[in-house]
Structure 1
Amino acid sequence: MPKSPYLFTTPRLGFRTWQPFDLDDFSVINADKEVMRYFQKPLSREETQAMIDRMLRLFDEKGYCYFAVDLLETKELIGTIGLGWKTFEADFTPCVDIGWRIGKKWWNQGLATEGASACLDFAKQKGIAEVLSMASAGNAPSIEVMKKIGMCYWKDFDHAELLAYPEIQRCSLYRISL
Structure 2
Amino acid sequence: MSTYLFSSPRLGFRTWQNFDLEHFSPINADPEVMRFFAKTFTQEDTLAFMNRMNKMYEEKGYCYFAVDLLETKELIGAIGLGWKTFESDFTPCVDIGWRIGKKWWNKGLATEGAQACLGFARQKGISQVVAMASVGNLASIQIMKKVGMEFWKVFDFPDLADRPDIQSCALYHISLSK
Q: If the length of structure 1 is used for normalisation, what is the TM-score?
A: 0.98
1:112 CA drift (Å):
0.3
Question: Which residue in 1 is equivalent to 2:98?
Answer: 100
Q: Tell me the amino acid that sits aligned with residue 38 of structure 1.
A: F
Question: Which residue in 1 is equivalent to 2:61?
Answer: 63
How does 1:1-178 map onto structure 2 within 5 Å? 5-178=3-176
1:34 CA drift (Å):
0.4
CA distance in 1, matches of 2:162, 2:99: 22
CA distance in 2, matches of 1:169, 1:38: 9
CA distance in 2, matches of 1:127, 1:133: 18
Identity of aligned residues (%): 69
Q: Which runs of 5+ in 1 are unaligned?
A: none
CA distance in 1, matches of 2:91, 2:109: 28
Structure 1 runs of 4+ with >2 Å offset? none
Q: Which runs of 5+ in 2 are unaligned?
A: none
Matched residue count: 176
CA distance in 2, matches of 1:95, 1:30: 24
CA distance in 1, matches of 2:161, 2:66: 29
Q: How far does the alpha carbon of each residue in 1:15-41 deviate from its partner, in whole angstroms, 9 at most, with x for none? A: 000000000100010000100000011
1:4 CA drift (Å):
6.0
